[in-house]
Structure 1
Amino acid sequence: MRKISIAILMLALAGSAFATLPKPTAAEAEAQAAKKAAADAQAAKDKEALLAKMDALTASWRAKAPGKGLKVNPPTPLPAPVAAVTASANQSAPSGQPDGKLTATGAAAPVTSEKAGTAAPSKDVKPAPSPPASSVKTR
């Protein structure tokens, strides 16, 4: 009897694990968006403060270093980041396929694979070892 009641309890708990939360109301969604915007603004403000502090520390070190006998090289100028680095990583379509659709040439191309044996092995692949000579004793 005890085993059956434990089994029923486990089933009830398992069923509650698959329950979903209700969708947020419009007011809750708006509050979440406002909270995210405030967090983003605070993060940008913190980033600016960090960069300012780093610049101040660098300037302070550069001012004190010659007095301590340290060689100070001029700061390295950094180029602006390339658009590819700052752009979003999301793609609108698969690479090399116009509008994300397979072209006729791509569809007509045969599927080849070294692993499946439908393509010749690459030149850098090691050949399979040859079997031992008949004069060599194996177990």
Structure 2
Amino acid sequence: MADVVGAMLVRNGEVLLGLRAAHKSFAGDWDIIGGHIESGETAWAALCRELIEEIGVECVAGDPLGTLNIGSGSHPSVLHVYSVSLWEGEPSLQNDEHVKIRWFGLGEAEHLPNLATPLYRAMFASLCCRS
């Protein structure tokens, strides 16, 4: 089972999502930013590394939102999701994981038909209630 981590960057009632590239898993789906936790890494350290690698921002503050069981069959994964509310830098694509990044209102994100996992919907709803 793989351990992965993902960030819901949140500002002004919006969440940042990335549109997955055609050559990646969940191709064509809107997904949170993140990736695999490497050996010896904490979930938070992995999250901060992934945010730098994928969108060029440095984590400053965030809170755990929950853990999701994703993937299927021979590729199950545990996804540790964080709400990140403070970072340094302006998000921009840094590699080929995503073809686009975009800010969505939390209510809008909750109703996107092509999310990498529908399990994100409850997390968007809980973030909406915190705003």
Task: Give the TM-score normalised by the residue count of structure 1.
Answer: 0.15
Task: Give the TM-score normalised by the residue count of structure 2.
Answer: 0.16
> Higher helix fraction: Structure 1 or Structure 2?
1
RCO (CA 8 Å, sep 6+): is it higher in 1 or 2? Answer: 2
> Higher strand fraction: Structure 1 or Structure 2?
2
Larger Rg: 1
